[in-house]
Structure 1
Amino acid sequence: MPESPPIEFFNEDIEFEVKDEQKTKEWLQKIISNYSFELESLNYIFCSDEYLHQMNVDYLDHDTLTDVITFDNSDIEGVIEGDVFISIDRVVDNAHSFNITPERELQRVMVHGLLHLLGFDDKSPELKKLMKSKEDECLSLLSL
């Protein structure tokens, strides 16, 4: 039997579990394959606003709350090796603001982090629009 994809879920300062963990990993692997990338390792680390805010200050010099921070640890083109930190506090608050379920917002944020590792950026209005369309495209592949 083949080894499962090297996608792992961790908690930093909160208790949290991804629903349908195996299907979520398969969905993320499918996205990576669709972009013809190879998966070395992908870690999702779930944490609080406080934890992610401190990372934002320490590593990115941004004194703001955020829902996701992605670290690309790969030095090989076409290979995914990264860490995606997600604030569950932000996910829940944003889901409420957008009038969607926290699970759906979490899926959007998870794929947003992955899209950064696949080379997409969101630093301009045009790039944000493209990122949003790629998020929607990836979410449409999800069959949870």
Structure 2
Amino acid sequence: MSLQLDWSNEQEKQEIPEAWIVKLEQLLVLAGEAEGIDSGEVSLTFTNDEEIHQLNRDYRGIDRPTDVLSFAMQEDGVDELDIIFEVDNEEDDDPISGMLGDIIISVDTAVVQSEEYGHSLEREIGFLFVHGFLHLIGYDHQDDETEAEMTAKQEAILQKAGLTR
């Protein structure tokens, strides 16, 4: 099994070009390679501020929209991923084995942020996707040190994919 991206577009304001999906699949592979992950499935949903606000409130207790949410299927830390994947790959009949989790991106917020940062919407969507992926596999940014680590990893992956600022 390889890394797989399953995606859906549940918002109507912004078309999601096929070229963006190809780039997101490339980012998934690059991020997986950087983290030593070569199999698994990520579900990506494009939504709007209203829907992500509801999810953020219901699941995180934060009553406002956000740019990206990640819901990991494996709630173990980064150091335990090798064990998880070895077990999951042996259980082919288990429908959630290999599922890394769900990433939800608010396209409304991505548009605003791409304008604020002065780069393309494609780059912003790519950044949010990689950010969400790193959360799925156990990274977080609760302090300056962990935020710097995540930022460096994100930028390195985006650079390899040619999504520069």
What is the TM-score of this pair, normalised by structure 1?
0.86
Match of 2:36 in 1: 36
Provide structure 1 residue ranges, at least 5 long, that are not aligned to the other structure: none
Report the count of equivalent residues: 142
- Would you tell me which structure has more helix in proportion to its own residues? 2
Compute the displacement of 1:70 (Å): 0.1
Asked whether the equivalents of residues 39 and 81 of structure 1 are also in contact (C-alpha less than 8 Å), the reply is no
After superposition, the Cα gap between the structure-2 partners of 1:110 and 1:121, relative to the gap in structure 1 and judged at 3 Å, is same
Question: Which among 98, 105, 110 is matched to residue 129 of structure 2?
Answer: 110
In the alignment, what sits opposite 2:16? 17
Q: Post-superposition shift, 1:28? A: 1.0
Tell me what 1:74 maps to: 74
Residues 39 and 74 (structure 1), Cα distance of their counterparts in 2 relative to 1, 3 Å cut: farther
Q: Which moved more, 1:25-34 or 1:104-113?
A: 25-34
RMSD after superposition = 2.1
| C-alpha contact (below 8 Å) 2:27/2:126 kept by paired residues | no
| Identity rate, percent | 29
How far did 1:5 drift?
Answer: 3.9
Tell me the amino acid that sits aligned with residue 92 of structure 1.
V
- Larger-gyration structure (1/2): 2
- Tell me how far 1:133 sits from its aligned partner: 1.3
Unaligned runs of 5+ in 2: 86-98
Q: Contact (CA 8 Å) 1:16, 1:46: kept in 2 or not?
A: no
- 1:43-82 aligned at under 5 Å gives the runs 43-74=43-74, 77-78=80-81, 79=85, 81-82=100-101
Counterparts of 2:143 and 2:3, CA distance in 1: 33
